[in-house]
Amino acid sequence: MSCKGLFLTFEGPEGSGKTTQSAMLARRLEGAGHRVLAVREPGGTAVGEALRDMLLNHPDQPLDVRAETLIFAAARAQLVTEVLKPALDQGRVVLCDRFADSTLAYQGFGHRQDLSLLRPMIEYATCGLEPSLRILLDIPPADGLARRLTEEHKDAQFRLADADTREWNRMDALDLSFHQRVHEGYLKLAGQDPEHWLIVDAKGATATVHARIWDGVSVLLPKATEAIV
């Protein structure tokens, strides 16, 4: 799928700071005169947000892993058609907080679903749309989970969905070995295609992590978005 804009995704384990870093990068890019759209996955459309609620906020209800995988894919398909493709066709810089690589990392490596089955399903759901660059915020899973717990969930293990806050959700509730497989899976995906991944050390001050991201992203901007600046 070809388009005029620049498509950047944020990936990483729980508590890696994607949401904060995505917002900071959006502000920096806007300040530099780019037209930016920032969205999250699952979500970003009315259908996607309803599916997000179904996926994440009912940890007490068992969900078959294939059903889970397909619901993530359905939310993604809606986002591609309704939001991502039109924005990219307009030449925007699109920042997506998670995308298809989350399915490979979580459902593939985490839940041990066969990657060779997931890849065509992803291709179908996205019409082949792929990020120009995936920004992998790298943090040891135990540190990320601890960060989420201490920052957001001091007094409650589960919270209801709220678009403005992070949730302690179904995926967080999985055991540490699951999150370690996810983390290793991300590193494997990035290692297989280094040209399309930027691995960023997510430890340290927010501004420091942002500077690391900016170093990697800013070199892409003139070429990819010269038409719209």
Where along the sequence are the contacts to ligand TMP (CB under 6 A)? Answer: 14, 40-42, 56, 72, 97-98, 102-103, 106-107, 166, 171
Question: Measured from the CB of residue 41, what is the shortest distance to ligand TMP in angstroms?
Answer: 4
- Cβ nearer to ligand TMP, comparing 2 with 116: 116
How far is the C-alpha of 136 from the C-alpha of 147, rounded, in Å?
A: 17
Question: Which residue from 7, 5, 25 is spatially nearest to 137, judged by alpha carbons?
Answer: 25
**Residue 87 half-sphere exposure, CB side, CA atoms within 13 Å?**
22
- Cβ nearer to ligand TMP, comparing 135 with 224: 135
How far is the C-alpha of 98 from the C-alpha of 78, rounded, in Å?
A: 15
Which tokens sit at 99?
A: 């995308």
Residue 40's CB: how many other CB atoms inside 10 A? 20
- Cβ nearer to ligand TMP, comparing 186 with 224: 186
Question: Measured from the CB of residue 166, what is the shortest distance to ligand TMP in angstroms?
Answer: 6
Question: Measured from the CB of residue 174, what is the shortest distance to ligand TMP in angstroms?
Answer: 9
Q: In terms of residues, how long is the chain?
A: 229
- Cβ nearer to ligand TMP, comparing 7 with 72: 72
Question: Measured from the CB of residue 8, what is the shortest distance to ligand TMP in angstroms?
Answer: 15
